[in-house]
Structure 1
Amino acid sequence: MARYVFITGGVVSSLGKGLASAALGALLQARGYKVRLRKLDPYLNVDPGTMSPYQHGECFVTDDGAETDLDLGHYERFTGRPATKQDNITTGKIYQDILAKERRGDYLGGTVQVIPHVTDAIKEFVVAGNEDYDFVLIEVGGTVGDIEGLPFFEAIRQLGNELPRDHAVYVHLTLMPYIPSAGELKTKPTQHSVKELRSIGIQPDILLVRADRSIPETERRKLSLFCNVRPSAVIQALDVPSIYDVPIAYHEQGLDDEVLAAFGIGGVREPDVSRWRGISDRIHNPEGQVTIAVVGKYTEMKDAYKSLTEALTHGGIANRVKVNIDWLESEVFEKEDPTPYLEHVHGILVPGGFGKRGTEGKILAASHARRKKIPYFGICFGMQMAVIEAARNLAGIADANSTEFGPCEAPVVGLLTEWVKGNELHTREEGGDLGGTMRLGAYEARLEAGSKIAEIYGSTVISERHRHRYEVNIAYRDALEAAGLHISGMSPDGILPETVEIADHPWFIGVQYHPELKSRPFEPHPLFTSFIAAAKEQSRLV
């Protein structure tokens, strides 16, 4: 039977519960255990699909088409296990399901309440489908004390009593701030956080304490005493240079040993963390460096591009170079000449996005990359902007644009109203709901034999994850290809363009999907590996 580790957070948000969960999962995997990670999100949105990146960061998409929390990206990157729609649930989704049952009369006239109906639904989600796993790690979003999180904390409290003895462990992640004026690390925030957790009925077994400097033994004993945990279970979680140093750092502090001890498991072999040490060595001892300009519209919120940032890092790992990222707001290019911002970079990447703001700046970035022969990578929206740029400046279609920005004379990019997934036809009405109505999840594409992108993949059949409403209009294919922009990848039915490239360019590729979502530190995505290799070559020319 699976054992459960519940990871909660206190004091402040953004302490790294997702990374801690992912790192612990990786360490348990390294000991030979089969691990699953799940995320409970307390907000009322059904999923993060309609939330602004400024509100919630990246929306991570799974193969089966779920729009999920960005922490699931960390889970995948650290464990290599593909997440599914069964690995993330929100308050909104739970209430949606419960209210649908109530409307059908499933509760037979009973009063529907938070306890037991909501908490039972949470518990059912947590324990479902875990028969094949040794450990299930459950991250609870938000911080203890949040009103919206109370049903989740109550549910995991109940599970602690309902599961067999020694089958539930609670890890609480807190902050120990350093007060410069006092010259001290302070334990009181952690004490108050644990007090709040205990008032709900949960006694943490392990404290994972974030700090920017080593925690003195006296302070660790103080936390042990006041928070009612064993001294060895106070684990310091210090800042590290790279997120891929976290599994090694946590193992050295004894986190995985303490979790197994809390379950009463002893005498197991040490984890093999050699591959993590290998990744760390490549990151900290590069043989060169490249600079990539990411021209986007959410650049003030780096979490909006979390998977993209990591995929670029993975490309650097594969090429043994450090990847420096210049975050450039695309709107700036609409007011100023982009050349001074881009003349020193070795590659230009335009990522996904929605809406009209900043689009002309992205088009100018694509134009600069094409004209100056700088490696260009257009992802989703970035591919569409490259197509519009080529239509205007190469094919002579002056009015080329996207209907996403309003009616236009030459809709080179238009709203996707129907598409096929497997044997099922999906349709969308203009002006319909936004949530869950995009082309979402893994779809196959057929790459043209002999094309650059087929050479990069080493295959003419690929499967990649999508998240978009608009597509390049196949009606403009002949005009675009005659001008030099080649559509080298199509959907299996031959209707939807999936990839474009320019043959007489060092590296100019656009893709309609999101390859960054499938990149791993141990398996860098081939497109990012190739893109950074091209940037590395460009660095020798600049």
Structure 2
Amino acid sequence: RERRGEYLGQTVQVIPHITNEIKEAVKRVEGPAIDVAITEIGGTVGDIESLPFLEAIRQYQLDAGRDNVMYIHLTLIPFLHASQEIKTKPTQQSVGKLREIGIFPDILICRTEVVLGDDVRAKISLFCNVPKEAVIEEKDVDFSIYQIPQMLAEQKVDEQIIRRLGLSGKRPDLARWNEMVETLRKPDSEVTVGIVGKYMEMHDAYKSIYESLTHAGIANRCKVKIKKIPAEEVERVGIAKFMDGVSGILVPGGFGHRGIEGKIKAAQYARECKVPYYGLCLGMQIASIEFARNVVKLEAANSTEFDPKTPHPVIHMMERQRTITEKGGTMRLGSYPCRIEPDSRAAECYQKEVISERHRHRFEFNNQYRETFRAQGMRFSGIWPEGNLVEMVEIENHPWFVGVQFHPEFKSKPTQPHPLFRGFIKAALEYSRPKAPAEKVTV
């Protein structure tokens, strides 16, 4: 905006220019269908990085009116195991810092390992100037984060919010949510999915995928166990040694050359052994490279991301993107429509002709190879109509082999699992059931 002259030569400052932009971002979610907008301000109170955001939400209450904005502060109540003591001082300090800048929390959500006694809640109420009933205990749950809404409802957080904002409402019907949590607690069956990736040591690297698999497990009334398979280890020793008890293989998105050949081995194993395979973004490209090498017999086929001189660039950057030099400028980002081919696995899962999914990638399937692949049994079940780009691939005569160029994990919800994840887990369950011994394949 400064480059466009919208500030009329003024010096751009944190206040009001940056804080105004933050407030505008919050306002963008407003609409006639929205009753309450929840805005999360991350970080730690007192850190310099958080100050512009905290100042913006302080101003927001002034702009919108005190009756239209409430503040809920999430805070940690440490428990010292050595002395068996609960410490409230960090919470007192945090609330004090907020009050210094003009933010007065209406509700305190207190993360804790242990039950907060009545005396502890009374102490927090007194020193933080918050009503005792607004000091909410959020104790660590025994098996699933999806127990938290139940915990908050039991302490009538919803009633406090409705009362504070002057809304008309009734107690929510949590029957469906409670049933979902009960399914998590007492599943009918169990299935193990192997995720072949290169960031396996980082617990949160594939967090959205882990949660999407859990959602799909709920829909299929089964517990989904995840086996983390390092792609570089697969390069070294092969995939077969990791497959004991595994009923489905998922290859997630990613960038860079490291671990690529291990992922290709995983896709080959899934194709040859009829193990359900689900490739996300890079996982679809991996499946295409493997198919090119071992089915179409295109020796040294690859992506130009990993081998710019490959004789068979089955995955490449589109011509119009190669002249873009801005960092991130070649990325295909955001939501794009996809037309689904009838009578495909995708059509079976989505039950729709056109869908919309989120993207974050710069390399695409090379359309020059589409007919060659189709002749050998690969099906292109999803196409972006405007650009005629491949969005989804499937392998015929396989129980469930699907690769997608997008990131479906970002659209999954506990009570609305993503159709493809649901279909993948259903196929993995089918695979896990006893069957006649298959011919051994070494990859």
TM-score where L is the length of structure 1 = 0.76
- Please, which of 55, 74, 86 is the counterpart of residue 154 of structure 1? 55
2:152: which partner in 1?
Answer: 250
Count of aligned positions: 432
Aligned counterparts of 2:198 and 2:13: Cα–Cα separation in 1: 42
Deviation track 1:455-497 (CA, whole Å, cap 9, x = no partner) reads: 3333443332222111111212233233333333323257322
1:67-466 alignment runs, 5 A limit: 100-101=1-2, 103-128=3-28, 130-132=30-32, 133-240=34-141, 241-264=143-166, 268-407=169-308, 408-418=310-320, 428-430=321-323, 432-435=325-328, 437-466=330-359
Q: Which of residues 385, 390, 395 in structure 2 aligns to 1:502?
A: 395
Structure 1 residue identity aligned to 2:4: R
Q: Secondary structure at the match of 1:169?
A: coil
Q: Which residue of the partner structure matches residue 441 of structure 2?
A: none
The one-letter code sitting in structure 2 at the alignment partner of 1:284 is: R
Q: Within 2, Cα distance between the matches of 1:208 and 1:345?
A: 40
Check whether the contact 2:346–2:381 (CA below 8 A) recurs between aligned residues. Answer: yes
Structure 1 unaligned regions, length at least 5: 1-99, 419-427
* Residues 160 and 461 (structure 1), Cα distance of their counterparts in 2 relative to 1, 3 Å cut: closer
Is the partner of 2:161 in helix, strand or coil?
Answer: helix
Q: After TM superposition, give the deviation of residue 313 of structure 1 in Å.
A: 1.4
Amino acid of the residue matched to residue 195 of structure 1?
Answer: G
Q: Cα distance, 1:524 vs. partner?
A: 1.9
Query: Quick one: which amino acid aligns to residue 145 of structure 2?
Result: I
Instruction: Provide the C-alpha distance between the structure 1 equivalents of 2:302 and 2:333, rounded to a whole number of angstroms.
Output: 23
CA–CA distance in structure 2, aligned partners of residues 315 and 173 of structure 1: 29
Cα distance in structure 2, aligned partners of 1:290 and 1:463: 29
Which residue of structure 2 lines up, in the alignment, with residue 479 of structure 1?
372
1:415 Cα deviation after fit: 0.7
In the aligned structure 2, how far is the partner of 1:454 from the partner of 1:290?
24
Q: Measure the CA separation in 1 of the matches of 2:265 and 2:306.
A: 17
Letter in 2 for 1:389: E
Cα distance between partner residues in 1 of 2:144 and 2:199: 22
Give the aligned CA root-mean-square deviation in angstroms.
2.0
Query: Tell me, what secondary structure is at the counterpart of 1:166?
Result: helix
Distance in 1 (alpha carbons) for counterparts of 2:25 and 2:345:
44
Tell me the CA shift for residue 229 of structure 1: 0.9
Q: Is the 8 A contact 2:275 2:431 kept in 1?
A: yes
Q: Would the alpha carbon gap of residues 447 and 168 (structure 1) be closer, same or farther in structure 2, given more than 3 Å must change?
A: closer
CA distance in 2, matches of 1:205, 1:454: 48
Task: Measure how far apart 1:283 and its partner are.
Answer: 1.3
The change in CA–CA distance for 1:328 and 1:187 in structure 2 (over 3 A counts) is same
- What per-residue deviation string (whole Å, max 9, x for no partner) do you get for residues 154-212 of structure 1? 12122223332322211111101111101122111111211222222222111100012
CA deviation after TM superposition for structure 1 residue 436, in Å: 5.4
Q: Residue 517 in 1 paired to residue 419 in 2?
A: no
Superposed displacement of residue 318, structure 1? 1.3
Deviations 1:492-513 (A, max 9, x none): 2573222222222211111112
Task: After TM superposition, give the deviation of residue 131 of structure 1 in Å.
Answer: 4.5
Q: Write the deviation string for residues 366-405 of structure 1: whole angstroms up to 9, x where unpaired.
A: 1111122111111111011011111111111111000011
Distance 1:436 1:296 in 2: 26
Separation (CA, whole Å) in 1 of partners of 2:247 and 2:285: 22
Q: Give the letter for the 1:292 counterpart.
A: V
Is the contact made by 2:29 and 2:37 (CA closer than 8 Å) also made in structure 1?
Answer: no
Distance in 1, Cα, partners of 2:218 & 2:145: 13
The 1-side partners of 2:388 and 2:30 are apart by 40
| 1:245–1:276 contact (8 Å) kept in structure 2 | no
Distance in 2 of aligned mates of 1:108 and 1:444: 40
Could you say if the C-alpha distance between residues 212 and 447 of structure 1 is closer, same or farther in structure 2, counting changes exceeding 3 Å? same
Map Cα deviations across residues 251-287 of structure 1 (whole Å, 9 max, x no partner).
112222222333355x742121111112112211210
Higher relative contact order (CA 8 A, sep 6+): 1
SS in 2 for 1:466: strand
Q: By how many angstroms is 1:516 displaced?
A: 2.0
In the TM superposition, what whole-angstrom CA distance separates every residue of 1:327-354 from its partner, at most 9, and x where no partner exists? 2221111112221112320100001111
Distance 1:529 1:121, change over 3 A: closer
Give, in whole Å, the separation in 1 of the partners of 2:339 and 2:64: 48
Are the aligned partners of 2:238 and 2:262 in contact in 1 as well (CA < 8 Å)? no
**Partners of 2:9 and 2:381 in 1: CA distance:** 59
**Hey, what's the Cα distance between the residues in 1 that align with 2:335 and 2:62?**
39
Any gaps of 5 or more consecutive residues in structure 2? 436-443
Query: What amino acid sits opposite 1:203 in the alignment?
Result: F
Structure index of larger Rg: 2
Q: Which moved more, 1:338-347 or 1:130-139?
A: 130-139
| Shift, 1:448, TM fit | 2.8
Q: Give SS of 2:37's match.
A: strand
The offset of 1:129, in angstroms, is 5.4
